[in-house]
């Protein structure tokens, strides 16, 4: 974190998530592991065709890749696979499972995009409408043009207006300090808080390039959240609940976490220098100045799969329509033209490794997902939509093979190589299982 506050101040109030129990000898560990598997498997959807997924999840726990992991898969007919292995806390006794609470971080973005597209359907927003028509702060954006000899930022007015489409596609010019040395330097020079603190001061961030001129991941969906609130005159917490979560039966998803839900939160773990995992506290600000449309939600794997199944089934889930079919199809199309999604090079390695889901391949951006234009290396079709959350949660929706999958862990830094390898194994085993089921 580069703001004056230490990012650890954000991670307050979560010490109760850290269990203090220490496991005994080898025999005790084996007995407890068997009990954990039994508890976690009690209500899972299993099919013999997907046993290889169970095996790769178990190996990942046994070899220390993860403390605990949940994997889910669905076809257009419904859930076909639920798997869970390990513990919510590496030193605890609580089995992880599909009803464990996870912080979604950037997997929030797809939900915020859905809310925005509902307003587009209703004619209350247009994709190519200047966002400044609703958000005065965006009427006169400024671009960071370097730093002077004293280290103070130099700013110039942007020539282009920021549109709703620019925000949805990360082509507006806004960035994230985790993947931007220049924005990290700007935070240090000005004292501007990072967006992760949920403080409105973070919206003073400058652009790093002219709107529409390139793709770079940034705080755009937080602006989209502000846009949804401005148009609807509702907070995101209320709008999401009424128009997305209640129709989809997502009862364990929101920005503000209840006391009972807090007891079910998976503990954050951090990869140590020796490859081991150590727990540390983490909690999204529960007294925020704004609700982060780009990363503030918590949820469960089962809840999030309801959302992904809605997208897979062209906007409907269990008889409830959230989006029109043509809207979902539009969201899965390329909306950045000839621009390219590029590698996100880390500026803060303790929080994220450099990230490129499809190195060496062309990929585009929809509304609002990464879209691979070529078949993926582990089975997904060209045209699939995917993204991830900072704590190593991942999802993809394959509209060709008609499947949706997700993988949930809670650990840092993001894009951990061992978790990415597990993600690939899960994807391959899922598609192989579809052939056998």
Nearest by Cα to 198 from 84, 268, 283, 85 = 283
Pairing of strands 298-299, 316-317: unpaired
Neighbours of 334 (CB within 10 A): 17
Q: Are 140 and 130 in contact (CB under 8 A)?
A: no
The two structure tokens encoding residue 112:
């915020």
56 in Cβ contact with 426 (< 8 Å):
yes
- What are the backbone angles phi and psi of residue 399, rounded to the nearest 5°? -75, -10
The verdict on whether 304 is a catalytic residue reads no
DSSP designation for 102: E
Residues with Cβ within 8 Å of 281's Cβ and at least 6 positions away in sequence, in order, are: 11, 12, 13, 14, 15, 17, 18, 268
- Could you give the 3-state DSSP secondary structure of residue 214? coil
Q: Is 14 left (phi over 0), alpha (psi -120 to 50) or beta?
A: alpha
Sign of CA dihedral 243, 245, 251, 255: negative
Q: 155 near 144, Cβ under 8 Å?
A: yes
What six digits make up the tokens of 16? 């109760």
DSSP designation for 414: B
106 is known as an active-site residue: yes
The one catalytic residue in 50, 81, 88, 106 is 106
Q: What is the DSSP letter of 150?
A: T
Looking up tokens 């499972």 gives 97
Active-site option among 81, 217, 394, 415: 217
- Check if 109 is active-site: yes
CA dihedral 245, 247, 251, 254 (to 10 degrees): 10
Contacts 24+ apart (CB under 8 A), 20-25: 20/91, 21/91, 21/92, 21/93, 22/91, 23/91
Distances from the Cα of 44 to the Cαs of 262, 400, 407, in angstroms? 22, 26, 15
- Taking Cα atoms as reference points, which of 393, 201, 173 lies closest to residue 297? 393
- Residue among 50, 81, 88, 109 flagged as catalytic: 109
CB neighbour list of residue 46: distance below 8 Å, 6 or more residues apart: 54, 81, 82, 83
Supply the residues annotated as catalytic. Answer: 106, 109, 217
């Amino acid at each position: 974190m580069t703001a004056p506050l230490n990012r650890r101040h954000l991670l307050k109030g979560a010490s109760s998530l850290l269990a203090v129990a220490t496991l005994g000898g080898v025999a005790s560990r084996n007995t407890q592991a068997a009990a954990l598997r039994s508890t976690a498997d009690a209500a899972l959807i299993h099919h013999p065709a997907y046993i290889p997924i169970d095996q790769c999840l178990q190996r990942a726990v046994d070899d220390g890749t993860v403390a605990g992991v949940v994997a889910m898969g669905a076809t257009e007919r419904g859930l076909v696979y639920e798997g869970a292995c390990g513990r919510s806390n590496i030193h605890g006794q609580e089995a992880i499972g599909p009803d464990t609470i996870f912080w979604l971080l950037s997997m929030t973005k797809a939900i915020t995009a859905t809310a925005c597209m509902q307003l587009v359907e209703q004619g209350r927003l247009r994709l190519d409408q200047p966002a400044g028509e609703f958000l005065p702060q965006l009427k006169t954006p400024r671009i960071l043009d370097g730093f002077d000899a004293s280290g103070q930022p130099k700013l110039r007015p942007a020539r282009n207006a920021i549109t709703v489409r620019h925000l949805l596609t990360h082509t507006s010019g806004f960035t994230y300090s985790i993947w931007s040395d220049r924005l990290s330097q700007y935070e240090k020079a000005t004292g501007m808080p990072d967006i992760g603190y949920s403080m409105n001061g973070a919206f003073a961030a400058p652009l790093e390039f002219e709107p529409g001129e390139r793709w770079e991941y940034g705080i755009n969906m937080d602006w989209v959240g502000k846009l949804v609130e401005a148009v609807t005159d509702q907070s995101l917490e209320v709008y999401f609940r009424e128009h997305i979560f209640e129709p989809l039966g997502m009862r364990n998803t929101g920005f503000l976490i209840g006391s009972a839900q807090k007891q079910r939160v998976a503990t954050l773990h951090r990869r140590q220098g020796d490859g081991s995992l150590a727990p540390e506290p983490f909690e999204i600000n529960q007294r925020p100045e704004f609700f982060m449309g780009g990363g503030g939600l918590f949820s469960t794997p089962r809840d999030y799969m309801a959302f992904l199944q809605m997208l897979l089934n062209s906007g409907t889930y269990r008889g409830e329509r959230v989006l029109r079919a043509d809207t979902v199809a539009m969201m899965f199309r390329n909306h950045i033209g000839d621009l390219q999604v590029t590698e996100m090079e880390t500026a803060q390695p303790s929080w994220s490794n450099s990230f490129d889901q499809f190195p060496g391949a062309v990929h585009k951006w929809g509304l609002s997902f990464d879209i691979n234009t070529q078949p993926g290396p582990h089975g997904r079709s060209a045209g699939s939509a995917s993204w991830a959350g900072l704590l190593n949660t991942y999802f993809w929706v394959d509209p060709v093979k008609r499947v949706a999958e997700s993988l949930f862990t809670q650990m840092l830094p993001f894009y951990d190589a061992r978790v990415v390898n597990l993600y690939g194994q899960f994807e391959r085993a899922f598609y192989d299982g579809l052939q056998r089921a």
